[in-house]
Each structure stands twice: as structure tokens, then as C-alpha cells.
Structure 1
Amino acid sequence: MNSLQHSYASRREHILLPLADRLETHLKDLFHGFPRIDRIVVRAKSIERFLAKAMKQENSKLKYDDPLNQIQDQIGARIVTFYRSDVECVRKEIGKYFSYIESKEIVPETEREFGYEGRHFILVVPPDIEDEKTSKDDSIEFFELQIKTLFQHAWSEAEHDLGYKPKCTLTTEQKRRLAFTAAQAWGADWMFDELHRQTTN
């Protein structure tokens, strides 16, 4: 663990943080003037979250046997749009400039559930923002991109803070309240998108 922590901390400081800055600038340049984008942010995964992911288990064994090379979201980008219909517009624009490794839409498992929603992608880091001084062995090939609406972003940030506190387990009643807020956010998201389309068509 100490060896992995040291290796990732060094990579984060010397490779990931500078790359995140360049990627954020690159995305902001690509989407300059693009309508109804609230924010574009790119971050290097924190040491704590990287180690927690590296220690995940499946079938009683570690999920990753080479986490430094297998974990693909060491760099995470997020584009937050105003409305649901804007998500697809951003996705199409992303497709013009980036190569896809993975694309998925995350929604609750059944139509009776409310919870986390968002579009997630694993994309190839474009060659023009790579650091020529970085060796091939140390270079980062992929990054994760999330596209969310304002309501999806706000709810997921609050839910993550409340639901994943290490010393706090939510009660059944508290989990129901959290699900209730997800339903409200979902309804508001659809309502604002509908109003937007009605007033612009």
C-alpha cells in the first residue's frame, strides 16, 4: 500500500495535475461560445479516492492487479449543461474531437427508482495536449468524461457527500429522504427541459 501510495502521489504531482490543467484549457477552447454550458472542470483523482478504488474487491480478490495502469479515471472531466437536451448536443460535439473507448448512460435500475444519473465516457487523451517530456511508460492514455445537467450535478455532489461519509451510515428514513430529493431533481430536470424547448421552438 505504501509503495502504491508513493507511486500514485508522484504521478499525480508530476503528470496528472499538469495534464488536468491542459485538458481543461483544451475543453474550454473547444466549447468556447457553445450554448448553455454551466461549467467545465477537470481534476486529477485524489490520492485517497485512488487508493480506495485500488483496494476494491470482487469475488474476494482485488479487482485491479495493476491499478496504476488499469484505473482509467485518474483524470476526470465534467461538463455541466443547463438542460437534458443539451447533454446529447455536447456528446455529439465531443465525438468530433475525441476517440471513444467506452460510453454509457447511467440510470437507476428500474423505472420505480430515482437516483444517480449521468453520461460517462472513457476517452483517449488527445496527442496535442500530451507532454513530450513524459515517457511512454508514465503517460496517461485515457480519461473519464461525465456530462450532466445542473440538477444531476447538484444532486450527485450532495448525495456523495451525505451517502459516503466514512463514519456515518444513513438510516432507512434518511435513505428514503435522499431518494425523495432524487425524484424532485429528476422532475425539475424534465420540467425545465420541456419549458426550454417550448419557449425556443
Structure 2
Amino acid sequence: MDDVVEAFIRRYVKEYDFYDQAARLVRQLLETELRTSGIRCMVTSRAKDVTRLEDKARQRALQRNYACADDVFEDIADLAGVRVALYFPGERDQVDSIVHRLFQLIDSPKEFPQNRDDDNGRRFSGYSARHYRVRLKKNGLSDSDQRYSAAKVEIQVASVLMHAWSEVEHDLVYKPLAGALSEDEYAILDQLNGMVIAGEIALETLQRAGKRRVADSGGEFRNHYELAAYLLAKIKTDEEKPVDESGLGRVDLLFALMKELGLNGPAKLAPYLEVLHGDLEARPLAEQVIDAVLAENTENYEVYRTVQNRADWLDTQRTPDRDDAHREVGLFLHHWSELENLIRIYLELSSAQVGYRSPILVFLKQHEMPLDPTERNDLNALRNLRNNLVHHGYRKAAADLSDATDRLQKIIEKLRRNLPRPPEPDAV
């Protein structure tokens, strides 16, 4: 058995950089998504320390019948690890939604606390967290990073307080330097665990107090974290809004757009939230609100593009091709706003209830179109391109964008020629 563990460690040392980079890629994806979604946390990553790993492998080898090094690699899940330390424990479900969207889950998340035989007279529940075993999705990786999709990465999600306590307990209980802990030492650890649990309750109370302050103040959101907390508190009262499945999305961009347009505050945001019902697509809430703001006034597209550029939507390194693509994006979105204006005029004249919703969405779902099936499918494809350009910083070659703009112009011209005229009002 010692030979198997030694072979495993020798191989792991050679592959250490692979696991370290896989963990780093997961951390970068997760950290960006959590930050832009308005979730306060600290995200760290690491490959398993060789000394700690050898100790763990030898302890497990006493209970498991490892036949070869591959058995050890299969058994130990946290060779590459990412830790999410939440400021507010109540946001764990939001993190869960993001993890499910970003990564391929290998198995069901593991919930802690779990029943343990060695409770040593504990009065409190112990370690409270949620662990995920995931792989990176290939379609989200560059060609040079494709190999990292094979790595298993463990994501540990808990409060900042719980993570700190678990480190202390782990090093004292599982790796004692001077023998097993005494009864009093276990009692002190249990007492500290109780203080951590009380601290988590205090953090959840603090979070609720902050939400009430923002909702009741009638003032402005100070940052996108306050906006995210407000959106969650507001939307969770309405089960029709698909927030849990699709998440909040780029709340940071929504916050910046609201500030630019003078819409920053609960009262000014409320009209855009009231219409988000029923037939809306299962997309992140921030995207839906941004679309509602853009649909209200298509001149807001240019404001939003400025906001995106300021948030590093495009690379800072400029090239002639990138400049051409930038211009083509602007041209495509200009014609898209022209299409929205055209359809909005028709819908309003025909007394359709558009409100703050996208006129394109209403038109596609509620009205017959003078378009053949191929053109209708193309309009859907162009709408998906628009959503990717607006919300995800999607980049395409200038020639591809120019082709998309040509197709869009043809649809605009046909609609302008063939849209039915609304009925004339009765003569007085």
C-alpha cells in the first residue's frame, strides 16, 4: 500500500501545475460571476499541498484497498480546490444557481453538517457548508485550455466565519502535533462553533436590515451590491419571475446604466420590475431590466454601450480588426433600435400592451408577421445575436457583423412594406 501512495504522490508532483491552473480557471470564472451579480465574498483557489495530500492519502489507505495510483486520484476529490467565503450566509442559494450554470457537476452537492460518530459531546452542529465537485465546460475554454476540462475541482461554499473555524478545527483535530485533544479542548472548539453559528445569524440579520434600509429610504443605491440585495428581496415575493433558475446576471452593468440615466433608486426602478411577468424568457433578471430600459427609449443603446466600454467590455488592446468590429456592432445595434421603433409604433397604434417590454418579444409572440419561416427564424437568430452583443460582450468578426446587419436591414425593409396598417378611428 505504501508503494501505491508513493506512486500517487510522485505522479501528483508532476501534475501539480495542471491542478493548480484548473483551480485558478474555476476561481476566475466564479469570482467574476459572483462579483458582477452583487454577491459579497472572497474566492480563493489552490492545488492540494503535497505534504497534506500525502498525509491524507496514507490515512485513507488504511481504510481503502487502493490497487494503483489511479484509485487514489479517483478517491480524493479536492486535488484542485476553490473556496467561496460568503459575507452573508443567506446568499448560498444564489451561489448554488451560479455554480450549476457555469460548470458541469460531477455529482450532487454535499451538504454539511453530516452525522459523525466522533462528535465528542458536541452541542453545536459543527461545520456548515456546501461542497461541489465540478468540471469546466469545454465550450467556455480557449483552445489552449481545453485539457483542463478533464480536472475535477472541488468548490467549498460557506460563510467567512465558518471557513475560519473549520481551518482551526481541521488542523487541531485531524492533525494533532502532540496527541489527541483533551475533553476541555474539544469543549472549547464546540463553544467557538456556537459563537460562529451565532455570528452567522447576526450576519443574516444585518443583511435583512440593510435590505429594509434600502427599500424604505427612497434614496439611491450606493453600489451594485445594494441593488442586488434589493432585487432579490423584491423579486422573491413573486414566484412567476425566474430568478432562482437564471440568476441576477450583470447587476454591475445595470447599476451603472441606472446611474447614467438618472434611474438609480427603488422608486425609479419599480416600474421596470412590475412588468417582468409570465411570458418572459428565463434569462438573468438584470438582462431583462436592461432590455426594458432600452426598449423604453432606443437612444439608451448608446448610453449602455458607453457603460459597457467603461466596464472593459472590449479589450484594452486595440487593433484595426477590433476597431472595425466595434464600428459594426454600433451599426448593427443602430438598425436594431430602428426595428424596435418600427414595431413599437405599430403595436402602440394597434393598442397592444407593450409597456416596458421588448416590442420584438411582444411582436414575435402575439402577432402574425409578414415574414416567411426562413425570415422568422433569421429574426430569432438576429435577436439572439443582439442579446449576446448587449449583455455578454460577444465578439464576432467585422465581416460577420456586417452580414448580420445586411440581413437585419432586409427584414426591416420587408416589415416596413408589409406591416398591416392599424384600423382608422371612427369618425366623430
The TM-score normalised by the length of structure 2 is: 0.42
Matching residue within 104, 115, 119 for 2:126: 115
Matched, 1:62 2:64: yes
Higher alpha-carbon Rg: 2
Displacement after TM superposition at 1:10 (Å): 0.4
Distance 1:124 1:64 in 2: 24
Quick one: which amino acid aligns to residue 152 of structure 1? M
Matched, 1:177 2:188: yes
SS of structure 2 residue aligned to 1:124: strand
Displacement after TM superposition at 1:22 (Å): 2.4
Matched, 1:19 2:25: no
Distance 1:89 1:162 in 2: 32
Distance 1:189 1:133 in 2: 38
CA 1:56/1:139 → structure 2, altered by over 3 Å: closer, same or farther?
farther
Distance 1:156 1:34 in 2: 27
Displacement after TM superposition at 1:132 (Å): 4.5
Aligned pairs (5 A) from 1:1-40 = 1-13=5-17, 15-40=18-43
Matched, 1:158 2:168: yes
Provide the residue aligned with 2:109 in structure 1.
103
CA 1:193/1:30 → structure 2, altered by over 3 Å: closer, same or farther?
same
Matching residue within 74, 83, 99 for 1:78: 83
Displacement after TM superposition at 1:164 (Å): 3.2
Range with bigger deviation, 141-150 or 171-180: 141-150
Quick one: which amino acid aligns to residue 9 of structure 2? Q
Quick one: which amino acid aligns to residue 148 of structure 1? A
SS of structure 2 residue aligned to 1:102: coil
Distance 2:145 2:88 in 1: 40
| Length, aligned pairs only | 197
Quick one: which amino acid aligns to residue 94 of structure 1? V
Matching residue within 156, 162, 167 for 1:146: 156
Matching residue within 167, 170, 174 for 2:177: 167
Quick one: which amino acid aligns to residue 53 of structure 2? F
Range with bigger deviation, 92-101 or 121-130: 121-130
Q: Is contact 1:19–1:130 with CA below 8 Å preserved after alignment?
A: no
Distance 2:196 2:88 in 1: 12
CA 1:158/1:129 → structure 2, altered by over 3 Å: closer, same or farther?
farther
Displacement after TM superposition at 1:16 (Å): 1.4
Q: Please list the CA deviations of residues 49-98 of structure 1 after superposition, one character each: whole Å capped at 9, or x if unmatched.
A: 3223322348x642544112332221111111111211111111211222
Name the structure where strand makes up a greater proportion of residues: 1
CA 1:151/1:85 → structure 2, altered by over 3 Å: closer, same or farther?
same
Distance 1:112 1:19 in 2: 38
Distance 2:156 2:65 in 1: 23
Higher relative contact order (CA 8 A, sep 6+): 1
Unaligned runs of 5+ in 1: none
Distance 1:81 1:63 in 2: 37
Q: Is contact 1:124–1:141 with CA below 8 Å preserved after alignment?
A: yes
Distance 2:123 2:188 in 1: 15
Distance 1:129 1:49 in 2: 30
Distance 1:119 1:21 in 2: 20
Distance 2:12 2:28 in 1: 24
Q: Is contact 1:55–1:63 with CA below 8 Å preserved after alignment?
A: no
CA 1:131/1:50 → structure 2, altered by over 3 Å: closer, same or farther?
farther
SS of structure 1 residue aligned to 2:153: strand
The TM-score normalised by the length of structure 1 is: 0.83
